[in-house]
Amino acid sequence: MRLKRMGLFLDPMNRQQRKHEAAQTSAGHVRGPPSAAAGPPNGPGAGLQEAMDHHRSGRLVEAEAAYGRLLERNPRDLNALHLLSLLALQTGRTEHAIALLKRALAVDDRQADLHAQLGRAHAAAGDMALAEAALRRAASLSPGVTDHSVELANLLLNLGRAGEAEALYRHAIASRPQEGGFANNLGAALRDLGRRAEATSWFHRALALGPAPEAFNNLAAVLNDQGQSGHAAHAAGLGLSLGADYADLHNNLGNALARLGRHGDAVAAFDQAIRREPGHAEAHNNRANALQELGRYDEALAGFRAALALRPGYGEARANLGTAIQATGRIAEAETHYLAALALSPDSGAVHNNLGTAMQAQGRMDEAAHCFARAVALVQDDDLAWSNWLFAIAFLPGYDDAAQFRENRAWGLRAERRATALPKLAHDRSPAPAPGRPLRIGYVSPDFREHVLLRAFEGVIAGHDRGDFELYCYADVAKPDEQTEALARRFDGWRNIHGMDDDARAWQIRADRIDILVCLSGYLARDRTLFARRVAPVQVAYANHVATTGLATMDYRISDPWLDPPDMTEAWNTERLVRLPGGYTSFSPETEAPDVTPLPALRNGYVTFGSFNNLAKLTIQALDLWSEILAALPDARLLLKAGGFSEPAVTARFRALLAERRVAPERVDLIGWVASKADNNRLYGRCDIALDPFPFNGSATSQGALWMGLPVVTLCGPSFVHRLGHSFLARAGLEHLVARTPDEYRRIALDLARDLEGLAALRAGMRERLAASPTFDHAGHARELEQAYRDMW
């Protein structure tokens, strides 16, 4: 089962654009030096007109001197004080501007424009409380002047108070409904409030009132939020076509391209943003995200650190630095960055989710599940967090079939509510296809690459009857490899859907007129949403799933009599269960598997138990039982192999856990990442008996151990994943290795260890036994699956 890819932050930049505009307004750049009609409280005389002419023409030294002469003649001249404060802001002398405005207000406290200018000056100085007070005073003094209330709304929006800003924007729109800028800003507030569909409609309204790059920029951002990355890229491109060559539009274009899987093009767009604004922290962060997707980790790490250098409190960049570090295998170090990011953004669901992945990689599943649950609580429609939460509970002892059904159904209902209904199917759903037409089967997965899924799936593709079935593949593969290319040649239709938005995926499948669409994606969040839209007449969950999908739109789930015993689990599935007699999947042996070695215990004089499962499966309950087995065999040893043991902190934690259970360190070997599959498989030559973890049993690791001659002792339990071992062993005629209680598990392990002659014979004949079993009969499995498809249709 796959560990879900961690979410990456993409700052869509409408906030940064508003900050940019606010800063420009504070410095007086938006409108330039005010005209006599628009700016000063009183009409200009000849001296004032001369000063203003200098100001408009950019002769600021001359303008300042002229304003000074006016104030020498009349220190209470409101026009001169007002305009000189504007010039001070333009030249970066914020405190001087504030002092001038306070002098002006001492003359006349009822001038709304002066209060508004004071608010801008305080904002430029970073004192937002005083800025808000001044702008509120300006708005109250001029209830009929919409601009002051909109300026207050802009400030509130920048302060994260989008609800208050929304009310002010709506009031402004009621007064001036043809003002596109107000519609644009209302859209920005709604986006901050998470009301994305409403935001989208207001950005469209703003554009209908007049094309504006700011509205195109914000439209691109909110479309990205909604997974409509193709439309987002188009919107950003339209904004750039208007000649608005500012950094934010390039940044939003880069975000859209990244989500479309065009990471190289995204890097180029982010480079354009940084070239125009070198201090653009979000662009540095997003560029690093794209580099990480390209596998350029050193450059990604440098990019995240550059973003943090520009903005030390940038929580998203801190978290993303953690993801890049975790991708290089330094899990404990990544954890420290996630915790630092949470200190900056304690309510960030994405950071809680990423912290959960680090906990899971270290085998700390209780803590991981807590992180994922927190992420779901904070962002209830975050598919990635839900996906990880549902995967995590499969590892926890307290979640049986019923408990997992409740959680999966909760997510399924959310996906169904969000699903957009497509037009009615125009498919011929007769019991048999039209004469001469084979059934068209579509397979969907991100794992059509070097991945364990192929060991269960490539035999199905080879075994399908191509006269009766046409095979289409929908590959969401970010990084295709040689396996991807080889697999592509074996399908009638190969569709690379990576980077497509949800609409494009759905319409591609509809256009191909798929009869039966098969999900191989397990808990991958995005594909569950796709299936919620009912994109094919018949939809099936097969392989790589660990429980019900929770979707009413998923018609069937492929299983077998051991994983879902008849009349026992039907109530805990939204799908109809199809139990294949020969097992829910077939399996291919490792191509790099060496010959089975003689029993090591005969050479060593002691038995070595082993587990090659990932750390998330090594639960406290499993360690407790394994320690009891070792206690009963004082000379026995334990070999645990997992990639996480390459991390010293992780190794130290597991040694401490075993020491607490009185297992001496010299009796335990903890082995981390190894260079090749062949090296990994050779390690089985050091083990005599494999111990299956629980409640989440091994899958590929159990098959690997069996193929290398090791009997696998498993504990059958109350959930689908707690019965995986039973399914594998029953199909190989090894039911005597399946325990129903911990005591029986201990007895089976001890009996094997105390009968070395029988253990050696079992080992020597294991590969022949497996080769003759249904698990390795790809053609037989393909026939069973095809008959199931015909029955479904």
Looking at the predicted structure, is the pLDDT value of residue 672 above 80? yes
Task: Taking residues 585-590, report their average pLDDT.
Answer: 84
pLDDT tens digits for range 738-761? 999 999 999 999 999 999 999 999
Looking at the predicted structure, is the pLDDT value of residue 224 above 90? no
Q: For residue 500, what pLDDT band results from cuts at 50, 70 and 90?
A: confident
Q: What is the pLDDT of residue 31?
A: 34
In total, the chain counts a number of residues equal to 793
Residues 6+ apart with CB under 8 A from 656: none
Q: For residue 269, what pLDDT band results from cuts at 50, 70 and 90?
A: very high
Q: What is the pLDDT of residue 17?
A: 38
- 3-class secondary structure, 741: coil
Token pair recorded at residue 587: 């399996």
Residues 6+ apart with CB under 8 A from 782: 459, 460, 462, 463, 464, 465, 586
- Burial tier of 694 (Cβ tally within 10 Å: 0-12, 13-18, 19+): buried
> Distance between CA 87 and CA 81 in Å, rounded?
10
Stretch among 416-425, 429-438, 656-665, 675-684 having the lowest mean pLDDT: 429-438
Q: For residue 524, what pLDDT band results from cuts at 50, 70 and 90?
A: low
Q: What is the pLDDT of residue 427?
A: 52
Whether the upstream peptide bond of residue 565 has omega within 30° of 0, thus cis, is: no
Report whether 650 contacts 363 (CB < 8 A).
yes
For the whole model, what pTM was predicted? 0.81
> Distance between CA 606 and CA 495 in Å, rounded?
53
Looking at the predicted structure, is the pLDDT value of residue 137 above 80? yes
Closest CA to 743 of 713, 718, 712: 713
- H/E element, 242: none
- Return the HEC string of 79-146: HHHHHHHHHHHHCCCHHHHHHHHHHHHHHCCCCHHHHHHHHHHHHHCCCHHHHHHHHHHHHHHCCCCH
Identify which of 30-39, 454-463, 673-682 has the greatest average pLDDT.
Answer: 673-682
Identify which of 163-172, 190-199, 758-767 has the greatest average pLDDT.
Answer: 758-767
Q: Compute the half-sphere exposure of residue 316: CA atoms within 13 Å on the CB side of its CA.
A: 18
Q: What is the pLDDT of residue 366?
A: 95
> Distance between CA 464 and CA 244 in Å, rounded?
55
Looking at the predicted structure, is the pLDDT value of residue 88 above 80? yes
More confident site: 692 or 457: 692
Angle, CA of 562, 567 and 573, to the nearest 5°: 80
Q: Where do the DSSP E strands lie in 552-688? A: 556-559, 576-579, 608-611, 637-641, 668-671
pLDDT tens digits for range 720-738? 999 999 999 999 999 999 9
**Rg from Cα positions in the chain:** 33
Q: For residue 429, what pLDDT band results from cuts at 50, 70 and 90?
A: low
Share of the chain above pLDDT 90, in %: 69
**Residue whose tokens read 């030390």:** 312
Query: How many other CB atoms sit within 10 Å of the CB of residue 563?
Result: 21
Angle, CA of 657, 662 and 666, to the nearest 5°: 85
| Average pLDDT score, the chain | 88
Closest CA to 307 of 328, 322, 293, 286: 286
The residues facing 540 across adjacent strands are 518, 556
Q: For residue 378, what pLDDT band results from cuts at 50, 70 and 90?
A: very high
Q: Which residues of 82-113 are buried (b: 16+ CB within 10 A; e: fewer)?
A: bbbbbbbbbeeebebbbebbebbbeeeeebbb
**What are the distances in angstroms from CA 558 to CA 533, 762, 781?**
20, 31, 12
- 3-class secondary structure, 611: strand
**What are the distances in angstroms from CA 381 to CA 226, 287, 419, 500?**
11, 26, 12, 20
Q: What is the pLDDT of residue 4?
A: 22
> Distance between CA 201 and CA 365 in Å, rounded?
42
Report whether 285 contacts 11 (CB < 8 A).
yes
Q: Compute the half-sphere exposure of residue 244: CA atoms within 13 Å on the CB side of its CA.
A: 22
Q: For residue 433, what pLDDT band results from cuts at 50, 70 and 90?
A: low
Domains, the chain, in order of start with CATH, read 16-28+43-142 (1.25.40.10), 439-579 (3.40.50.11380), 600-776 (3.40.50.2000)
Share of the chain above pLDDT 70, in %: 92
Task: Taking residues 59-75, report their average pLDDT.
Answer: 91
- Return the HEC string of 681-735: HHHHHHCCEEECCCCCCCCHHHHHHHHCCCCEEEECCCCHHHHHHHHHHHHCCCH
> Distance between CA 211 and CA 205 in Å, rounded?
10
Task: Walk across the sheet containing 439-445 and list its strands.
Answer: 493-496, 469-475, 439-445, 516-519, 538-541, 556-559, 576-579
Residues 6+ apart with CB under 8 A from 273: 247, 248, 250, 251, 254, 280, 283
Q: What is the pLDDT of residue 669?
A: 97
**What are the distances in angstroms from CA 774 to CA 731, 768, 769, 783?**
6, 12, 10, 12
CA dihedral 268, 384, 342, 16 (to 10 degrees): 40
Q: What is the pLDDT of residue 488?
A: 82
The DSSP letter of residue 573 is -
Q: What is the pLDDT of residue 402?
A: 94
Q: What is the pLDDT of residue 274?
A: 97
Q: For residue 560, what pLDDT band results from cuts at 50, 70 and 90?
A: very high
pLDDT tens digits for range 610-636? 999 999 999 999 999 999 999 999 999
pLDDT tens digits for range 310-356? 999 999 999 999 999 999 989 999 999 999 999 998 999 999 999 99
DSSP per-residue letters across 323-362: HHHHHTT-HHHHHHHHHHHHHH-TT-HHHHHHHHHHHHHT
> Distance between CA 299 and CA 284 in Å, rounded?
11
Q: What is the pLDDT of residue 738?
A: 98
Q: What is the pLDDT of residue 422?
A: 60
Report whether 769 contacts 733 (CB < 8 A).
yes
The DSSP letter of residue 596 is P
Report whether 394 contacts 46 (CB < 8 A).
no
Q: What is the pLDDT of residue 425?
A: 52
Q: What is the pLDDT of residue 526?
A: 64
Q: What is the pLDDT of residue 729?
A: 98
